[in-house]
Structure 1
C-alpha cells in the first residue's frame, strides 16, 4: 500500500484543503462482466476488493449480481443482490447484505466529442446481528472522452452521491452521507476485455466534525460478452 502514497498524495491536491478527521490511502481492485442472455435480458457480475492503510489492509469484499432487462437500446432496468463482508486488518467483522434496484442510461448525450451516461440506484441494506433496514439512494453520472475519434482508449470522469433515506443502528447519518469523484483511463487489452486504471476520491460528510477523505488507486478489469 505504501507504494501508492506518492501518487495518491499528488492526486489529493485536487481535493479541498479544509481540516479533515481522516485522510486515508487505499487500493481498490475489481473485475466485472456482463453477459447477454438472449432477448433483452443480460446478467452482470462484479467483485471489488478494497484495501486501506488506516484500516490495516483488507476491509471489504463487495460482490454484486444483477439481472438486467433492456427497455430500449439506451435504458436498462436492473435488480439483484450484493454480498458484502467487512473486515478489519483482514479479520472478518460483520456481514452486510443488500438488495439493489437500478436503472442505467447509456449514451445519453454527446458533449465535446465524448458521451454522457448515468445511473439511478436504490439499495436496501441489512447487517447480521444489527436490527433495521437501511435505505440508500445513489445517483451516478459518467463522461467518457476517447483520446482519438473512433478509438476505445478514453478518459473517464465520474461522480456518485450517496444519500441515506433513513437511519438505523449502522446507518447513522440521514441525508447526504458521501460522494465519490473519479478520474481514470480505460483501454481494451484483449477481445472483450477492458482495463481501467485511475484515482478515486471518496469524501464523507461528518456531522459537527471535520469531513473524511479516502484517496483510492483503482484498477478494474471489465469483461463483456
Structure 2
C-alpha cells in the first residue's frame, strides 16, 4: 500500500509537466462528535480559491451521520452542499448524497498507521440534467514525528461511474495527493497544514494540475 502511494505520487509528478497548472488555496474546519456509544455526527466546511478562476470558486459543506461497527470500521451517510463560483460570484449549485465506509488505523506500517475510506457519491447540479455517480477510495499513512505531531500522506483517486452534462470523464477523473503535518493545539483541536497536488485527466485536451496550499482545523469531541 505504501508503494501504491509512492507510485501514484510519481505519476502525478511525471504528468504535471504536460498539464495546465493552477495555484490554489484550500482552508477548512471539521468537527466530529459522539452522539452515543455507536453514533457519530461529522460536519466540515471548506473554501477553495484559485488563481486561474480569479478567487473563490467553491464552498463545500458536508454533514454526515456515522454508525460505528467496531473500533476500526464506521458506516456514514449524509449530504453535501456545494455552491460554485466564478471570481467570487455565485454561478450554480451542486448537491450530493454521500455514503462511505471508513477504516481507522486498520494496519501498522513501521512506526506509522494506515487508515482508509471508500466513498460513494450521487451528484446533482442545478440547470443540468442527470445524476452523476462516482466512487472515491482513499488511503492515508500517518507517521508520528514527535509526541502527537505527525506527518500525513494520502492519496484519493476519483472514478466517475457514468457521464452527465457536468460529469464528463468516464473512469479515472482525478487524483488528489496530499502531504501535511498535523499538530495538536489543545486536547480536542488539531491544526493541519501542507501541500496537495490535484491532477485532473482531460480527454482531448491538456490535463490539469492544481498546486494547493492546504490548511485545516479539526475538532474531535
TM-score (norm 2): 0.93
Work out which of the residue numbers 127, 136, 149 in structure 1 matches 2:125: 127
Give the 4+ runs in structure 1 shifted more than 3 A: 17-21
Q: Distance in 1 between matches of 2:14 and 2:209?
A: 10
Contact preservation (8 Å) 1:118, 1:141: yes
Q: Distance in 2 between matches of 1:17 and 1:123?
A: 27
Q: CA distance change for structure 1 residues 18 and 28 in 2, over 3 Å: closer, same or farther?
A: closer
Q: Distance in 2 between matches of 1:147 and 1:182?
A: 17
Report what 2:207 is aligned to: 211
Report what 2:89 is aligned to: 91
Report what 1:179 is aligned to: 175
**Larger deviation: 213-222 or 200-209?**
200-209
Work out which of the residue numbers 186, 192, 195 in structure 2 matches 1:190: 186
Tell me the SS of whatever aligns to 2:71: coil
RMSD: 1.1
User: What are the ranges of 5 or more consecutive residues in structure 2 without an aligned counterpart?
Assistant: 1-11
Contact preservation (8 Å) 1:186, 1:197: yes
Report what 2:42 is aligned to: 44
Q: CA distance change for structure 1 residues 213 and 199 in 2, over 3 Å: closer, same or farther?
A: same
Q: Distance in 2 between matches of 1:217 and 1:203?
A: 14
Report what 1:81 is aligned to: 79
User: What are the ranges of 5 or more consecutive residues in structure 1 without an aligned counterpart?
Assistant: 1-13
Equivalent residues, number: 210
Distance apart, 1:75 and its partner CA? 0.1
Q: Distance in 1 between matches of 2:127 and 2:52?
A: 25
Report what 1:110 is aligned to: 108
